[in-house]
Every structure is written in structure tokens, then in C-alpha cells.
């Protein structure tokens, strides 16, 4: 019985992170009647600044739904993650996506565009993914997560389990093997 809190964090790079897709997802959620706020956290990059994202949201009638905060770090970022319900990812390419394990370590389900090659997605029961660029399908998944407490609980538990697996890896040994 409260507003759904969505978060995205990273650099505001349209070319690879597809920040504009977040606006499309938000517009679809709004059309579906979902009560939500999406916080977009991160520094401007190349030709995209937080103010630009906020202006675009306002042009779409979503100023009360979307807040591009600019960069947050440390305790500030943790507070935003902890007060969120779902991490949304719209990237078209990632190497090792730190945002996913960071959010999952706090129990957040992840709704994202599919990046099948990411090792962090293997056996990860805290993630739902849809075809790249399908904002309506991503919004539908987010709406389903928000309206089905059992599904939310299952995904959140899956996120915590995935984060535990990541924390359990011996990264020092892996780096030594790499080099």
C-alpha cells in the first residue's frame, strides 16, 4: 500500500546505458497506473546530464515520477538503494556489472534488459529479464513484481542468495590465475 521505489545507478551514458529507455519504462508504468518513483543516480556523461533527464521527464509529464539525482556515493547511495524496491537496468552492454551485485546484496530484485553473456546472471534467481529495447515488457515485469508479494519475496531472496555467492568467491585467487 505504498509507492513502488525504483532505482537505477551508473553513469548517464545514453550510448551504452540507454538512460532514455528508463523514461520509456516509466511512461509505460504510468500508463499501467503503477504508483512509483524512479531515481536515476549517477554523474552526467558526454552529452547527458541529470538536469537533461529531469527536463525530458517533465516534457513527458513524468516530473513527479522520475528524479535524476546526480552522483551519490557511500552512505548516500546506500540509503537510496535501501529505500528502493527494484533495480532497473537498461544497458545494451556490460562487462562485469557492479550495480547488480551491489543492489542484490541489499535484497533488491533486478528487472533488466537481457545480457545473456553476463556470468553474474547464471543461476541468479533474483533477476527478471526481457528482450533488449522492449520497454513495455520490462514495465510489465516490474508491475508484476510490485503487485505479487510472493514473487517479490522470491526474487528478493534470490537476490540475497546470488549476492552471497558473489561474496563467497575468492577474487584474490581468481586475479592471481588471470595474471
Q: Rounded to two decimals, what is the model's pTM? A: 0.94
Q: What pLDDT, on a 0 to 100 scale, did the predictor assign at position 36?
A: 98
Q: What's the confidence (pLDDT) of residue 95?
A: 74
Above 90 in pLDDT, residue 166? no
Q: What percent of the chain has pLDDT over 70?
A: 100
User: Residue 125's pLDDT is what?
Assistant: 98
The predicted-structure confidence for 123-158, as pLDDT tens digits, reads as follows 999 999 999 999 999 999 999 999 999 999 999 999
Determine the pLDDT at residue 96: 74
% of the chain exceeding 90 in pLDDT: 89
> Which of 72-81, 113-122, 126-135 has the lowest average pLDDT?
113-122
Average pLDDT value for residue range 85-97 = 91
Cα–Cα dist 125/106, whole Å = 15
Amino acid at each position: 500500500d505504498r509507492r513502488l521505489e525504483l532505482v537505477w545507478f551508473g553513469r548517464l551514458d545514453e550510448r551504452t546505458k540507454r538512460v532514455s529507455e528508463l523514461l520509456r519504462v516509466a511512461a509505460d508504468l504510468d500508463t499501467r497506473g503503477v504508483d512509483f518513483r524512479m531515481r536515476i543516480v549517477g554523474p552526467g556523461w558526454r552529452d547527458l546530464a541529470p538536469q537533461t533527464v529531469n527536463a525530458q521527464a517533465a516534457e513527458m509529464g513524468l516530473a513527479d515520477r522520475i528524479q535524476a539525482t546526480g552522483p551519490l556515493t557511500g552512505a548516500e547511495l546506500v540509503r537510496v538503494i535501501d529505500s528502493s524496491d527494484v533495480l532497473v537496468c537498461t544497458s545494451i552492454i556490460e562487462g562485469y556489472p557492479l550495480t547488480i551485485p551491489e543492489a542484490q546484496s541489499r535484497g533488491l530484485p533486478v528487472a533488466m534488459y537481457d545480457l545473456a553473456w553476463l556470468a553474474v546472471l547464471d543461476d541468479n534467481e533474483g533477476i527478471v529479464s526481457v528482450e533488449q529495447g522492449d520497454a513495455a515488457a520490462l514495465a510489465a515485469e516490474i508491475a508484476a513484481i510490485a503487485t505479487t508479494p510472493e514473487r517479490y519475496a522470491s526474487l528478493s531472496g534470490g537476490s540475497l542468495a546470488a549476492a552471497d555467492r558473489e561474496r563467497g568467491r575468492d577474487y584474490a585467487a581468481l586475479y592471481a590465475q588471470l595474471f
